[in-house]
A = this chain, B = another copy of it.
Amino acid sequence: MDNTENMDFEAKRTKQADELMQLLDERRMKELQLRLEDMNEFDVAEFLSEIGDNRMPMVFRLLSKQMAADVFANFDSPEQEQIINSITDSELSAIIEELYVDDAVDMMEELPANVVKRVMRTATPETRRLINQYLNYPENSAGSIMTAEFVDLKKYMNVRESIARIRRIGEDKETIYTCFVTSADRKLEGVLSVKDLLLSDDETVIEDIMDTNIVFCMTHDDQEEAAEKISDYDLMALPVVDKEGRLVGIVTVDDVIDVMEAEATEDFEIMAAMTPSDKPYSRTSALDMWKRRVPWLMFLMLSATFTSMIINSFEDALAVQAVLIGFIPMLMGTGGNSGAQASTAVIRSISLGDTEPEDVGRVIWKEFRVAILCGVTLAAVNFVKMLMVDRMLLNNDGVTLTVAAVVSLAIVFIVMFAKVVGSVLPIAAEKLGVDPAVMANPLISTITDAVSLLIYFEIAKLMISF
């Protein structure tokens, strides 16, 4: 940390980017090449993304084979496409062979068909076979995110032989820190970490130190399940086996971070009534966004026909007691917000594995108590507020004691209904195999809107000439 000792990380990175840009502007390519080769691949990818479309492929071609592949894996698909379109077949082939299979597969899933064709044509038959095999695993399965590059050992090897093997074959493996012990027919027999190896004597036999209590998943398991196991068991890598128990790949801890980010984003999008997308916001076109948003808006808009019908059926009464109209938005808002709180809490709890369908009774009971506490608090505040603000301050004579009581009583029942429905629907969805995230604010609001109106008008009917 020599000369830049007391600079923080961001300042160093900015300084580095400025220096690189200067080298590029002054066309000092040899120096630029040396600097880039020394950097982290993530930073190189960031730098290349920023220097502009026309210079980027030229600078990319300065990189060594290994660095080029690493940087390529760090690119988003538009940059990948641009690179592919500007390099020769043999350069492309070199990159594809250097990529880990899971990165290559990620890339294939995003690229346009004609580019995929060219990539497949330049790949070696073995790589082509592997990519095709991976592309056949269901989307978002453990198989689709695993990688085939792992260290395998045999149980009759000793520690010295194992370390020698790692030193020999480790270069191309995505992780060397977890090693997998397989039988002659490729069945998984045990796992052990490099830590176990290093902390054992050279002559110890693998069979004596390997862990046979293996945490694993199947190729067709959901990627979320694989991520959860890695997180629960604090693993560096999770073995993926096929139906015959043969080890076919591993999922590494850095994949989990990507999976978790993607799954959280998906939940956020579904919970805001959007069809989820793999693409970042900045890369999504307005037309694509329209496609992902408008069907849900339309469905919810048309569902609101029920609220119209309810209001229309009370139209004459409302014309007489017009003061009641003013509190409709507040009541619907309170119902929607109360329901959203409950549904969000339960949806998140389900997705973290904290709540399961069996817990439905306990959840209802809890939300019921929360609803009474919230409902009564809100009703009391509202009652005072209507008399003090609406009646006295704003001089709205229609706000009588009875009207304030009607609105406040409605709040209690609306909050109770909203919280119970908001908590039950996500659990019901989980039970039925539907994504609980669907049962979030927009849908809950549409339901509570209609019911809030009914509760409000029925209470009004009972208490005033309505």
Contact = CB atoms under 8 A, between A and B. Distances in A.
A290 B373 contact: yes
Interface in A1-59: 1-2, 5-6, 8-9, 38-40, 42
A341 B293 contact: yes
A315 B445 CA distance: 25
Contacts of A301: 330, 333-334, 378, 381-382, 411
A46 to B, nearest CB: 9
Contacts of A330: 301, 304-305, 307-308
A334 to B, nearest CB: 5
A344 B269 contact: yes
Interface in A106-146: none
Interface string A316-359: 10110011011111101110111011011111110010110001
How many chain copies?
A: 2
A97 to B, nearest CB: 19
Contacts of A442: 337, 340
Contacts of A329: 304, 307-308, 311, 328, 332, 449, 453
A187 B332 CA distance: 60
A188 to B, nearest CB: 6
A234 interface: yes
A281 B348 contact: yes
Contact of A373 (B274, B294, B328, B385): B294
A117 to B, nearest CB: 30
B213 A195 contact: no
B280 A352 contact: yes
Interface stretch (A86-94, A259-267, A457-465): A259-267
A229 B212 CA distance: 34
Interface stretch (A77-85, A162-170, A428-436): A162-170
A1 B189 contact: yes
A298 B328 contact: no
Nearest to A452: B329
A5 B244 CA distance: 8
A415 B294 CA distance: 11
B348 A265 contact: yes
Interface size band for A: 35 or more
A243 B8 CA distance: 9
A345 B272 contact: yes
A271 interface: yes
A374 B260 contact: no
19 contacts: A5-B245, A253-B254, A265-B352, A274-B345, A280-B354, A281-B355, A286-B366, A286-B369, A290-B377, A293-B370, A301-B381, A302-B381, A304-B333, A307-B330, A311-B328, A312-B326, A312-B394, A333-B449, A336-B445
Interface of A: 1-2, 5-6, 8-9, 38-40, 42, 163, 166-167, 170-171, 176-177, 187-189, 194-195, 198-199, 212-218, 229-234, 236, 243-245, 253-254, 256-258, 260-261, 264-265, 267-269, 271-274, 280-282, 286-287, 289-290, 293-294, 296-298, 300-302, 304-305, 307-309, 311-312, 315-316, 318-319, 322-323, 325-330, 332-334, 336-338, 340-341, 343-349, 352, 354-355, 359, 362, 366, 369-370, 373-374, 377-378, 381-382, 385, 389-390, 394, 396, 411, 415, 441-442, 445-446, 449, 453
